[in-house]
């Protein structure tokens, strides 16, 4: 199994510089592209008829079990990395939409409403929903 390469997550300053050059949509898409995925190894299929084919199948099955253990480790590393990416995206969306400018007691409810209404269409839709809700407090 090949070794995964995790992209370096940008700092807030790097995100701000990128935002000056492109729009919010492009920044969100760039951050989404930092997610990493690993492919699950394919389990060998038993189509054996001869003794030699059975031995070859057993060897392939042993190799698959080793690859599955490596896959589980890499999958967990991907989950950790992707949670960091998601946190980065959500913090960016909240900051850009001005969620921190509304009273503390409303922030969670406002974000939950924006998430509920927009998440099925992607992060940018959540951002747009959040902007509309934050405008109510201006």
Asked if 1 and 42 count as a contact pair (C-beta separation under 8 A), the reply is no
Helices (H), the chain: 12-21, 24-32, 51-97, 104-118, 123-135
Query: In which band, very low, low, confident or very high, does the pLDDT at 3 lie, cut at 50, 70 and 90?
Result: confident
pLDDT tens by residue, 80-112: 999 999 999 999 999 999 999 999 999 999 999
Query: Residue 126 pLDDT > 90, yes or no?
Result: yes
Tokens of residue 60, six digits:
């392939």
Which pLDDT does position 4 carry in this prediction?
82
Question: What mean pLDDT is predicted for residues 53-62?
Answer: 93
Mean pLDDT, the chain, integer: 93
Query: Residue 1 pLDDT > 80, yes or no?
Result: no
Which pLDDT does position 30 carry in this prediction?
94
Exposure of 1 in the CB half-sphere (CA atoms within 13 A): 21
Asked if 23 and 131 count as a contact pair (C-beta separation under 8 A), the reply is no
Q: How far apart are CA 99 and CA 110, in angstroms?
A: 8
Which pLDDT does position 101 carry in this prediction?
93
Question: What mean pLDDT is predicted for residues 122-128?
Answer: 96
Question: What mean pLDDT is predicted for residues 32-42?
Answer: 94
């Amino acid at each position: 199994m090949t070794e995964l390469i995790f992209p370096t997550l940008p700092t807030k300053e790097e995100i701000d510089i990128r935002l000056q050059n492109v729009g919010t949509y492009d920044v969100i898409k760039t951050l989404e592209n930092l997610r990493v995925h690993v492919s699950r190894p394919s389990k060998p299929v038993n189509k054996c008829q001869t003794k030699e084919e059975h031995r070859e199948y057993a060897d392939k099955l042993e190799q698959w079990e080793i690859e599955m253990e490596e896959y589980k480790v890499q999958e967990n590393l991907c989950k950790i990395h992707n949670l960091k990416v998601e946190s980065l995206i959500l913090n960016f969306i909240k900051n850009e939409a001005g969620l921190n400018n509304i009273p503390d007691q409303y922030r969670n409810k406002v974000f939950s409403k924006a998430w509920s209404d927009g998440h099925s269409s992607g992060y940018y839709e959540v951002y747009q929903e959040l902007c509309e809700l934050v405008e109510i407090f201006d």
